[in-house]
Amino acid sequence: MLSKRIIPCLDIRNGQTVKGINFINIREVGDPIELGKLYSEQGADELVFLDITATHEGRKTFVELVKRIAFNLNIPFTVGGGISELKDADALLAAGADKISINSSAIKNPKLIDDLALHFGSQFVVVAIDAKEENNHWEATMHGGRLPTGKELFTWAKEAENRGAGEILFTSMNHDGTKNGFANEALTHLSDLLTIPLIASGGAGTMEHFADLFKYGKADAGLAASIFHFGEIAIPDLKSYLRKEGISMR
Amino acid sequence: MKVAIIKYNAGNIQSVDYALQRLGVEASITADHDEIRSADRVIFPGVGEASTTMAYLHAHGLDKLITELKQPVLGICLGLQLMCRHSEEGDVECLGIFSETVKKFILQHTMLPAMKIPHMGWNTIEGLKSSLFDSSIEGQHCYFVHSYYAETGPDTAAFCSYPTPFSAALQKDNFFAVQFHPEKSGPVGAKILENFLQLKINL
């Protein structure tokens, strides 16, 4: 049976992980490779590396980093951040990335999804959507939820699928950072609407939240950052808990 | 040991090379016919579209070359599909090494949880019958990403269910193939690649 996926997300700046990471007994906390390997050994099903570097030099560092990640990891990984043209994606593919994630660049230029899917295949293209709910209306946003885009979440997600996205990564800005659980209602709706896999992000605080996500949110994968980085939830514990809850896990 | 990875217009060949390097093997990524023919092991990887890739193989004489190889050959993902008889993707005749045919997954809305295409993620492989596998691999999870699948048939060496069974692996004589990505399937995938490199078969 196809298992549900658990995906830790790492923010990278100038080749180093950004958030203070608080693993007990791990010294190389800033090194994305060491962290990636650790998560992989713990049973993470995939990893996401988001480059939040703004500078040109930082971009080059990131591509070099992707090469080292690809060499060292034997599980799939997605890279995102700063991809606005085919050549950005091409450099990351050549470096060994399995998938790329695009967000605001797809909103500004939706045809980028078609072009990427045509050149590299849909399996390579993850469209990330950060959306916010207000008065029962979900709207895709940019710049960490501060900038509305005029695109309604469900319409935009379906458009992304039709244009050739291979997966949708949906982050609820209402839930992100709250640790009160995932946006299960919106996720169920999205999952029913889409024929491509759905990754849920935003709101993970407890192991029960992941069980709810897979039982009620109908997502194919759950993504989280700080709860893993700060050791609040250990991946082996999470997966054995979810197995007991009857959810298919690797 | 000389390992050749067949170079053609397909993506993600790099990851296969890295996986071999992790096993201590320096492979050459090549389209050179003599180099491929003289290698001890040949890997035919691939992510891409079937009909355009078949056209490319044909234009470069690689179709004939691959079918005539005598050493152990491992097809991965699209490589497996192209080693079959026919693919629905672009309705194309393939290499015909295996007698199975390749079909597109059909969405089954009645399935719970809802079926998604591509079949993406970790799924179990069962019914293993090939020296590519050992008993430790039965029922283990491997990483799949595909929208087309090879039916089960006489050459099926492992199956996976989504929701109906399809060929997760095929084998005929010196030709081996896996639908999943061993280079991305953690320690299980590494073991399968290692088994391929260590195969002892009479040719």
Angle between helices A32-42 and A235-244 (to 10 degrees): 30
Residue range A64-73: mean pLDDT, rounded: 95
Domain for residue A249, yes or no? no
pLDDT band at A26; cut points 50, 70, 90: very low
A225 domain residue, yes or no: yes
Is B108 touching A (CB cutoff 8 A)?
no
pLDDT of A28: 43
Residue from the list A93, A123, A221 with its beta carbon closest to the beta carbon of B118: A123
Q: Which of residues 10-39 of B touch A (CB under 8 A)?
A: 11-12, 14-15, 18-19, 21-22
Q: Is the pLDDT of residue A20 over 50?
A: no
Residues of chain A found within 8 Å of residue B189, distances taken between Cβ atoms:
74
Whether the CB-CB separation of A80 and A100 falls below 8 Å is answered with yes
Q: Does the residue A145 lie in any domain?
A: yes
Q: What is the pLDDT of residue A37?
A: 93
**C-alpha–C-alpha distance, residues B177 and B171, integer Å:** 6
Q: Is A180 on the interface with B (CB under 8 A)?
A: no
The pLDDT value given to residue B201: 63
Q: Which residues of A touch B5 (CB under 8 A)?
A: none
ipTM for the whole complex:
0.93
- Domain with A46, as residue range(s), is 5-244
Residue A201 pLDDT > 70, yes or no? yes
In this prediction, residue A23 carries a pLDDT of 44
Overall number of domains in chain A: 1
The residues that bridge with A128 in the sheet, in sequence order, are A169
The label of the residue with tokens 């997502």 reads A219
What is residue B184's predicted lDDT score, i.e. its pLDDT? 97
Residue A250 inside a domain? The answer is no
For chain A, state the CA radius of gyration: 17
Per-residue confidence in pLDDT tens, chain B, 203 aa? 999 999 987 767 889 999 999 999 999 999 999 999 999 999 999 888 899 899 999 999 999 999 999 999 999 999 999 999 999 999 999 999 999 999 999 887 666 556 899 999 999 999 999 999 999 999 999 999 999 999 999 999 999 999 899 999 999 999 999 999 999 999 999 999 999 999 986 54
Where in the sequence numbering do the catalytic residues of B fall? 77, 181, 183
Catalytic residues of A: 11, 130
Cβ of A74 within 8 Å of Cβ of B113? The answer is no
Judge: A3–B122 Cβ closer than 8 Å, yes or no. Answer: yes
| Joined tokens for residue B36 | 């491929």
Between residues 43 and 102 of chain B, which touch chain A (CB distance below 8 Å)? Answer: 47-49
Structural domain boundaries of chain B? 3-197
Query: Is A35 among the domain residues?
Result: yes
Taking the Cβ of residue B142 and every Cβ of chain A, the question of whether any pair is shorter than 8 Å is answered with no
Assign A61 a pLDDT band (cuts: 50, 70, 90): confident
Q: How far is A147 from chain B (nearest CA, A)?
A: 31
Q: How confident is the model at residue A25 (pLDDT cuts 50, 70, 90)?
A: very low
Asked if A70 and B18 come within 8 Å (Cβ–Cβ), the reply is yes
pLDDT score for A120: 87
Q: Is residue A185 part of a domain?
A: yes
Interface size between A and B, measured as CB pairs under 8 A: 92
- Residue A21: pLDDT band by 50, 70, 90 thresholds? very low
Q: What's the confidence (pLDDT) of residue B178?
A: 98
**Tens of pLDDT along A93-149?**
989 999 999 999 999 999 999 999 988 889 999 999 999 999 999 999 998 778 899
- Confidence (pTM): 0.94
- Proportion of chain A above pLDDT 70, given as a percent: 95
Q: From the candidates A5, A74, A93, A235, which should be mutated to test the interface with B, based on the most B CB atoms within 10 A?
A: A74
The tokens describing A237, both together, are 């514990």
- Report how far residue B43's alpha carbon sits from residue B112's, in angstroms, rounded to the nearest whole number: 37
Q: Does B143 touch chain A (CB under 8 A)?
A: yes
Which CATH code, of 3.40.1160.10, 2.40.160.40, 3.40.50.880, 3.40.228.10, is assigned to B3-197? 3.40.50.880
If you measure CA to CA, which chain B residue comes closest to A71?
B18
What CATH number has the domain bearing residue A70? 3.20.20.70
Residue A178 domain-assigned? yes
| Contacts by A229-235, CB closer than 8 A, 24 or more apart | A229/A8, A229/A10, A229/A17, A229/A19, A229/A21, A229/A22, A229/A23, A230/A21, A230/A22, A231/A22, A231/A23, A231/A24, A232/A205, A233/A204, A233/A206, A233/A207, A234/A42, A235/A6, A235/A8, A235/A39, A235/A42, A235/A43, A235/A44
Q: What pLDDT does residue B108 have?
A: 75
